[in-house]
Amino acid sequence: MILYPAIDLKDGHCVRLLRGEMSAATVFGDDPAAQAAAFEAAGCDWLHLVDLNGAFAGQPVNALAVEAILSRITVPAQLGGGIRDMATIEMWLEKGLARVILGTVAVENPALVRDAARAFPGKIAVGIDARKGFVATKGWAVETTVQATDLARSFEDAGVAAIIYTDIDRDGAMQGPNIPATEALARAVSIPVIASGGVSSMADLAALQETGVIAGAISGRALYDGAIDLATALQALKA
């Protein structure tokens, strides 16, 4: 199971939100590229980046910060937030991102996801953010009647590289991930599923890994707070 350290970008800073609320942002640093380099130095295999402003704006907002990160690291990085058309997908992949995450458009324009997955094999992931099992879009501000599992299954034959599943009510709350829901989703599809939201301890990582079906886990606040030591966690997951 791959551990993805998360760098959430708001106004050029590294932040963490509580349950997706922009007004509940905690700033952890003003040099995202330095933070990315520190995560790489600790041994991570991937980085997970989110343009929070972009998720609300519907277009890239923290591009300069993302570009600075990409210029400092050699490990692959994936990015979500504000990526809603083919031109933006192409732009980011040309700038060196290994994978782009499509969230809102997966609900509103699923054909784009399919077209992008065909055009860029292995480089397109779907972000499914859910509150009580139902998908939320546009930076989690809009709740839909679409069930997370149904959305995931709809891309079963599309060739997407991964599904990033976030339980919004757990995100940033340091209360542990929703393992039953994440495991159920992973068992419902053949697409690799990455768990996000609430991963806050070594025990959480072990529990996710023990399911045997979850391909990765994203953690942010716990790494900044020191609840999880990245180097130690990476070693434990490879043991």
Beta-carbon contacts of residue 90 (< 8 Å; ≥ 6 apart):
none
Active-site residue, selected from the candidate residues 51, 129, 167, 171: 129
Check: CB of residue 183 under 8 Å from CB of residue 155. Answer: no
For the question of residue 129 being annotated catalytic, the response is: yes
Active site (annotated) includes residue 45: no
What DSSP assignment string belongs to 108-140? H-HHHHHHHHHHSTT-EEEEEEEETTEEEETTT
Here the tokens at position 221 are 């606040």
Cα separation of 159 and 162, whole Å?
Answer: 9
- CA separation for the pair 210, 184 (Å, rounded): 14
Q: Which of the following is catalytic: 8, 167, 171, 204? A: 8
SS3 235: helix
Catalytic residues: 8, 129
